[in-house]
Amino acid sequence: MAEDFRKLLKEANRSDDWGRYFEDIVVQGFLVLSAQASSVHASTPEETLDDVNAYEAWQVALSQSGKRTLTQKGYGAWDELSRKPWAASFTPHEIDGIMEAEFVPTAVVQQIYEDMLAWKKEPWTGD
C-alpha cells in the first residue's frame, strides 16, 4: 500500500469566505490528484477541520499536466483509469480534460491515488 494521500496534503490557503484549499498532489510528474475538504467543498463533513483524518469523504478532481489532457483519447490516462470501479462516480468538469467527483470516501481516494501511482504511460511516438 502506498503512503496515505492525506499525509501529502499541504494547505495552500484558507479563509472564512472561501474555505480551505490543498495543493494538488502530482503523481508520476504529470498526473494530478486534487483532494479537497472544507466548508465550501462536497466533503463529509462539509466543515473546515484542522485534522484531515477526520474527513470521511472528499471532493476530488483528476487531471493531467502537459500537452495532453487526462481525457484525450489515445493519450490521456483516463483511457485506462476510466475502467476502475471508482471511475463511474466521476463526471467531466466544465474545463476540458478534468474529471471530478463529490463525496468520495477516504478509502476510495486512497485507491485512486494508488491506481495513479501504478498507471504506466505508454511512450508517445507521434507529434
pLDDT tens digits, residue range 64-118?
988 788 888 877 889 999 999 999 999 999 888 899 999 999 999 999 999 999 9
DSSP annotation of 23 reads P
Q: What percent of the chain has pLDDT over 90?
A: 71
Rounded Cα gap, residues 82 and 79, in angstroms: 6
What is the structure's pLDDT at 123?
A: 43
Query: What is the dihedral sign for C-alpha 94, 34, 110, 108?
Result: negative
